[in-house]
Amino acid sequence: MNYTYEYPRPSLTVDCVVFGLDESNELRVLLIQRALDPYAGYWALPGGFVKIDEGLEDAARRELFEETGVKDVFVEQLFTFGNMQRDPRGRVVSVAYYALVNLKDHPVKASTDAKHADWFKLGEIPELAFDHKEILAKAIERIRSKVLYKPIGFELLPEKFTLSDLQKLYETILGQLLNRRNFRSKILKLDLLEELERQTNVSHRPAQLYKFNKEKYEELSSKDGEFIFEIRFHHRDNREEGENEV
């Protein structure tokens, strides 16, 4: 069946930039290898055409699930890309989303029109299809700035985490080392972490496990317009401690 319109219309797609944290606390992006032309064989962001009767975010979630098996994750709209030359098939406008997931909970399984799906370290991104490099760059920029004033980082961690996990996450996203004591006091002062049990079976002093109290955060930020989740570190402190003790 065909569809006819009086004026030409661009195609509308969605693309997802999915970030995950790997075992060694490095940030990775979920890419799929395209099976079909254009750019067959190239790696690309998961995404695809928006159906006429589905919402934009719904389309992003659907494509993400179909192509990578990832579902039920934090997703937010990033930006809409509409350069004339971004797709060789013609005028294609793409609404990009970014997602944050705990990588361990989302083993990838490719399906549908994606040949493979895999998690890539940020430093090892292959050449990407379309303008996906640009979309990825925008997504990185976005999470870098957003993590400073919204508690989105917790989406990348498992439910239970240690303060060291959290600190490493911030160090990864911000690309700078942070002072441990100051990080801990800053985070704990927000009073948004719930203390759980301690770690077990680690060959060092077991760390306290915490859980982010999302309900409390939402209550505070909606009720009290003043409340700001602000994690900002003005001066960095690279050299770790334990140095010259005379």
Partner DNA sequence: TCAAAAGTGTTTAGTTTACACCCATGC
Partner DNA sequence: GCATGGGTGTAAACTAAACACTTTTGA
- Give the interface with DNA as residue ranges (CB under 7 A): 162-164, 179-182, 184-186, 189, 198, 200-208, 233-237, 241-246
Compute CA distances 26 → 3, 54, 89, whole Å: 46, 34, 35
Query: What minimum distance in Å lies between the beta carbon of 195 and a second copy?
Result: 28
Q: Which is nearer to a second copy, 11 or 182 (CB)?
A: 11
CB neighbours of 180 closer than 8 A, spacing ≥ 6? 167, 241
Helix (H) or strand (E) holding 244: none
Task: Quote the least distance from Cβ 212 to DNA, whole Å.
Answer: 16
Residue 203 binds which one of DNA, a second copy, none, with CB within 5 to 8 A depending on kind?
DNA
- Is residue 112 within the footprint of a second copy (CB under 8 A)? no
Six-digit token string for 188: 């704990």
Which helix (H) or strand (E) segment holds residue 88: the answer is none
Cβ proximity to a second copy: between 90 and 242 the closer is 90
Nearer to a second copy, 52 or 246 (CB): 52
For the chain, the straight-line distance linking the first and the last C-alpha, in angstroms and rounded, comes to: 82
Reduced to 3 states (helix: H, G, I; strand: E, B; else coil), residue 105 is: helix
| Min separation Cβ 1 and a second copy, Å | 8
Bridge partners of 100, per DSSP, are: 19, 74
Q: Which is nearer to DNA, 9 or 181 (CB)?
A: 181
Report the nearest approach of a second copy to the CB of residue 130 (Å).
Answer: 16
Considering only residues 162-201, where is the footprint of a second copy by CB under 8 A? none
CB of 54 to a second copy, least distance (A): 8
Task: Name which of 83 and 111 has its Cβ closer to a second copy.
Answer: 83
Compute how many other C-beta atoms are within 10 angstroms of the C-beta atom of residue 184: 15
- For the bound state, the minimum distance from the C-beta of residue 163 to DNA, rounded and expressed in Å, comes to 5
| Residue 179 interface partner, choices DNA, a second copy, none, CB cut-off 5-8 Å depending on type | DNA
* Phi, psi at 13, each rounded to 5°: -125, 170
Residue 79 binding result from DNA, a second copy, none, given CB thresholds of 5 to 8 Å by partner type: a second copy
* Distance separating alpha carbons of residues 45 and 126, to the nearest angstrom: 11
Q: Are 34 and 115 in contact (CB under 8 A)?
A: yes
Question: For residue 104, what is the DSSP state?
Answer: G
Question: Which positions touch a second copy (CB under 8 A)?
Answer: 2-12, 49-50, 52-56, 77, 79-80, 82-84, 91, 93, 95
